[in-house]
A and B are shown apart, each in its own frame.
Chain A
Amino acid sequence: MRKVLFYVPLVLFLGLSLFLLSGLFSDPRERDAVMVGKPLPAFSLPDLMNPAQTWTPDALKGQPFLLNVWGVWCPTCNAELGYMTQLRNEQGVRIIGLYYVLPEDPMFGQVFNLPVLQAEVATKLQQFGDPYQFNILDQQRRLSLDLGVSGAPEHFIVDAEGIVRAHHIGDINPQVWRTKLAAVYQQFAGGSQP
């Protein structure tokens, strides 16, 4: 009995060390992927560059795509435009933008101005690269809320039937794409790839 008790502190210490060690490698932004496996929530939103065009979940079906929540105000989003353009050109990844509009503060005379926004977006895309097939304008961020978006950038992989297959919070870089998203995308892109 005494011999066993002698090792109790050591075992407790090792257990605690392992527990804390695993914490060093965990991502605090990581959340339960509640959207994965669910269909896209219902929406009807205009195209950013061509507001006459309206997008609904059905209009996006037919081919898997990467849905990228972004905004020109977000430096990380701008930084990943280059790599995503590369993904589009080299691997034929279909990328659709979900434009996340920051709320305007009328106290400071801010009002939503679509032409100004369109000009800003065009400038950024020219500067960093344009990976998008098109952009959906989510001015009230209702679709973003329904998707469980907490900020920009975030990414969803949606399959040809409109089912969300992956949710990535944060930017896409070569490592993230290779280790986390490429496999999921290839799995659902398999048949429709040229």
Chain B
Amino acid sequence: MNRFFTPFLRYCRGSAVPGVSGSRAVSLTSLYAILLGLFMLSQSQAVLASETTATTSMNVEQPAAAVAAPQELQQFDSEQQRQLYLKLTAELRCPQCQNQNIADSNAVVAVDMREKTYELVQQGLNRNDVLDYMIDRYGDFVHYQPPVNRVTIWLWLAPVLLLISLFLLQLKRRANQITPKETYPHDSATQKMDTDRDEANKMTESKIQLNKELDQIIEHYRSKKS
């Protein structure tokens, strides 16, 4: 256990770690982990934000090109409802053109869903009510944000688990590297390497033991002298 965490503790204290490349690898892994985490967090918001902008411009530019042209120029009672409508049409997915949201698609069903969304927003329904209305009819598929349940939880857990296991693996490798380099046998057969290294470790331990004993003897004689 100690052997396993020592490199990590040393790394945290910022003290010199034998084998510079190893410590750099650990720092790179953690840096990568942090960056990836930040990226994932920012991603979901960024997608929604960009789609909302796209919707706003679309409604301004091409009302005439839309299939049900007169209905596309929608009047809202309040700015809040307008924003809600834009948000909803951006995050609802067209069941026909599966890679477009309903704001972006001119498939018949997307036009109908936009109209229905408008109707429901005008009736004063909130975001969750409208989403439930659509999910009741078209399934979870229709919302770009998947619900967290027994099956989909892995979408969030898998990357985290992967990162943790990579990090642990890296630590483990660092822990192995801490044994002095010269004792590594230059042998390609992995099994042999394992046994060889164990022997080498034993040798190192006996060396340390020997050094200790020598130190004790020297200490003993020094104290006698004085």
The judgment on whether A and B are partners is yes
Task: Check A151/B107 contact, CB under 8 A, given A6-B190, A32-B140.
Answer: yes
Cross-chain contact A32 with B141 (CB below 8 angstroms): yes
* Residues of B in contact with A, size category: 20 to 34
Instruction: Determine the distance from Cα of A31 to Cα of B137 in the docked complex, in whole angstroms.
Output: 11
Cross-chain contact B108 with A141 (CB below 8 angstroms): yes
A19 CB, min distance to chain B CBs, angstroms: 12
Which residues of chain B are near A151, meaning CB under 8 Å? 96, 107-109
Cross-chain contact B139 with A34 (CB below 8 angstroms): yes
Q: For A29, give the chain B residue with the smallest CB separation.
A: B98
B219 contacts the other chain (Cβ, under 8 Å)? Answer: no
Instruction: Determine the distance from Cα of A35 to Cα of B64 in the docked complex, in whole angstroms.
Output: 35
Task: Check A146/B111 contact, CB under 8 A, given A2-B190, A31-B95, A105-B69.
Answer: no
Which residues of chain B are near A147, meaning CB under 8 Å? 137
Residues of chain B in range 104-150 having any CB-CB distance to chain A below 8 Å: 107-109, 111-113, 116, 135-141
Main secondary structure of the interface of B (DSSP, over half): helix
Q: For B94, give the chain A residue with the smallest CB separation.
A: A150
Which residues of chain B are near A146, meaning CB under 8 Å? 137
A119 contacts the other chain (Cβ, under 8 Å)? Answer: no
Instruction: Determine the distance from Cα of A144 to Cα of B64 in the docked complex, in whole angstroms.
Output: 25
Chain B residues within 8 Å of A, Cβ to Cβ: 64, 67-70, 95-96, 98, 107-109, 111-113, 116, 135-141, 190-191, 193-194
Chain A residues within 8 Å of B, Cβ to Cβ: 2-3, 6, 28-29, 31-35, 102-103, 105-107, 141, 144-151
Which 10 pairs across A and B sit closest by C-beta, in order of nearness?
A: A150-B95, A32-B139, A148-B137, A34-B139, A150-B96, A31-B141, A150-B109, A148-B138, A2-B190, A151-B96
